[in-house]
Amino acid sequence: MTVYIIRRVLQLIPVLLGVSILVFSLMHLTPGNPAQLMAGESAPPDTIEQIEESLGLNDPLPVQYWDYISGVVQGDLGTSMRYNTPVADEVWPKFKVTLELSIYSTILSIFMGLLAGIISAVRQYSISDITIMIIALFGLSMPNFWLGLMLIQWFAVNLGWFPPTGWEGPSSIVLPVISLGTAGAAIIARMTRSSMLDVISQDYIRTARAKGVKKRVIIYKHALKNALIPVVTVAGLQFGALLAGAVLTESVFAINGMGRLLVDSIIQRDFPVVQACILIIAVVFVVVNLIVDISYKFLNKRIDLND
Amino acid sequence: MSNQQVEAAPTQPKVENPRVKAAKDFYRRLKKNVPALIGFYTILILVIFSIIGPWMLSTDPSDTDVINKFAGPSAEHWFGTDHLGRDIFTRIIHGMKLTLGIGFASVFMGAAMGIPIGIIAGYYGGKIDAVIMRFIDILLAFPGILLALAIVSILGGSLVNVTIAVAIYAIPGFARIIRGSTLAAKNLEYVDAIKALGAGDGRIIFKHILPNVLSPVIVNATLYIATAILTAAGLSFLGMGAQPPQPEWGAMLNDGRSYMRDAGHIAFFPGMAIVIVVLAFNIFGDGLRDALDPKMKK
């Protein structure tokens, strides 16, 4: 197990390196000169040269990348072009908000998805199964930003139960979390259902049933444990999708998180901030997936740890 | 030798049989899957509508009717009008070809890039495979809409760039699925047999491996169109895709969000349109998967 974990962590290094190179290239692949963008259209050539010098834009690309990555490793994410402040100061408080939103939404997805998926599988082809699967299909097909707008319309504007925007206090998080978590819940419900059905049809469940074990015990003790294994992977992937999907949810609910910062910075062409946001989301996603992979192997003892 | 060939000729139709049988089998199972058929016909109707719809309407998507701004649904304006007094129904019908176009074009481009990458990785294996898959891993490290967002941040916001961004975002998924299927197909005995007969790599890949890996591609592509449409609408919603006055549904939602308090219908109908289209692709994709899945043959 330890060897497996170490190997997986080592395998992470080339991926993280690649991610950082791609993110670093963002600024250089963009048409136009970043210094020109920073100084504005009508800036004199002297100013642009100065900025180029201070940003190190005249150095060879590998040198620039080295400067960038050694800064990142030390927590220096560069300087915001818009505010001329360290990007890290700008990003971290907002990252906290986005992380909270994603974690709550993931919890909601897993809870709702498991519950719905188990009910569906246990009562296959019943009215409740069909209803749940239809709702799940809708949940999967709905843009989360539209769902968010509709939730605001019904529960904030018409009923006044929740504030329409913001991220302060428990009542303000309800609508964004539902809006972001619904698609994930739908995906997990469908996965749980098919995985449960797979497991239920297996010999050992039939044996348990033939032995006279109670249905409840079979489902929760014998079947669910094995059915959960593929669900864990999906839940991990969902967390990443939610982290990125938060970009849209934050925009709808005017939440001051990293997603909104990312969108604003793209529009303002504040590349250091864009790079930092994308890099952070990607790194968190990769690390979460690593944890999921490791727990997957841990849960499923049948898998050979050497592959 | 020549005798053998003459003898072999009459059995030719029988050799063809398994594939025809598989296709017939597939249609039989697809026909039984009522939701999948509903999905398929909905897509068909939507495609037809997106082509002939704009001609059937007498109104223009950009026509403004200032007196009737924010009008709710009525006999004259089925889905009401928006903040500029434009007819929302007309705009949705005109926007349909944009939405479907982005969906089909981006998935087609993504598949056109992802399939060769996946086949090369799976077929040649070894170092080539390792390098390609590491690169795919890197692309997969950007979850959901993030990769598309990053690409649009480089290319700038427009519908064409959104299509390109969503296509690139589709590549890793296709490459991975195809690689897996290619690995499985490569080890089939008949591929060894053809190799022993002296068939070249190109012939093996195009004539024997590609047809075998196509069914996961078709399922993936169908389901992927749904994701592509959602992603593209999301980018337009953020103001990074369609530019006004294009009647793109995500952009229309973005227009409507400022008026949720007084004119919720402006955002409701374009969103509903997205849901219906995405739902149709999702149901059809699910049905295709079931019909093509050998495990479900019973």
Contacts of B142 in chain A (CB under 8 A): 19, 244, 278, 281-282, 285
Q: Could B143 and A241 be called an inter-chain contact, meaning their C-beta atoms sit closer than 8 Å?
A: yes
Residue (of B92, B93, B87, B94) closest to B63 by Cα position? B87
Report pLDDT for A65. 85
Q: How far is A213 from chain B (nearest CA, A)?
A: 29
Cβ–Cβ < 8 Å for A100, A217: no
Choose between A83 and A245: higher pLDDT.
A245
A125 Ramachandran zone, left/alpha/beta (phi>0; psi -120 to 50): left
Q: How far is A251 from chain B (nearest CA, A)?
A: 8
CATH number of A93-299: 1.10.3720.10
pLDDT over threshold 80, residue A136: yes
Q: Work out the average pLDDT over A217-229.
A: 81
Q: Could A18 and B257 be called an inter-chain contact, meaning their C-beta atoms sit closer than 8 Å?
A: no
What is the CB neighbour count within 10 angstroms for residue B177? 19
Residue in B closest to A21 by C-alpha: B138
Q: Could A30 and B152 be called an inter-chain contact, meaning their C-beta atoms sit closer than 8 Å?
A: no
* ipTM for the predicted complex: 0.86
A-contacting residues in B 276-295 (Cβ below 8 Å): 278-279, 282-283, 286
Q: Which two tokens stand for residue A271?
A: 């590349």
Task: Kindly report whether the peptide bond that precedes residue B245 is cis, defined as omega within 30 degrees of 0.
Answer: yes
What is the CB neighbour count within 10 angstroms for residue B36? 22
Contacts of B283 in chain A (CB under 8 A): 137
Report pLDDT for A117. 92
**Range with the poorest average pLDDT among A183-192, A250-259, A296-305:** A296-305
Q: Work out the average pLDDT over A36-57.
A: 75
Write out chain B's pLDDT in tens, 298 residues.
444 444 444 444 455 566 677 777 777 777 788 888 888 899 999 999 888 888 777 777 777 777 777 777 877 777 777 777 788 888 888 888 889 999 999 999 999 999 999 999 988 888 998 889 888 988 888 887 888 888 888 888 788 989 999 999 899 989 988 888 888 888 778 888 888 888 888 888 888 788 877 888 888 898 899 999 999 999 999 888 888 788 888 888 888 888 777 777 888 888 899 999 999 999 998 888 887 765 554 4
Residues 6+ apart with CB under 8 A from B208: B185, B190, B191, B194, B199
Q: Work out the average pLDDT over A46-57.
A: 77
**Range with the poorest average pLDDT among A12-16, A143-147, B68-72:** B68-72
Contacts of B275 in chain A (CB under 8 A): 138, 141-143, 146
Tell me how far apart the alpha carbons of residues B204 and B32 are, in angstroms, rounded to a whole number.
34
Report pLDDT for B1. 43
Cβ–Cβ < 8 Å for B85, B64: yes
Report pLDDT for B15. 53
Choose between A79 and B174: higher pLDDT.
B174
Length of chain B: 298
Residue (of B183, B41, B258) closest to A252 by Cα position? B258
pLDDT grade, residue A59 (50/70/90)? confident
Residues 6+ apart with CB under 8 A from A69: A20, A24
Place of tokens 């408080």: A93
Q: Chains A, B: CB contacts under 8 A, how many?
A: 135
Top residue of A15, A137, A145 to mutate, by most chain B CBs within 10 Å, is A145
The residue ranges of every structural domain in chain A are 2-87, 93-299
Name which CATH class applies to B30-46+85-296: mainly alpha
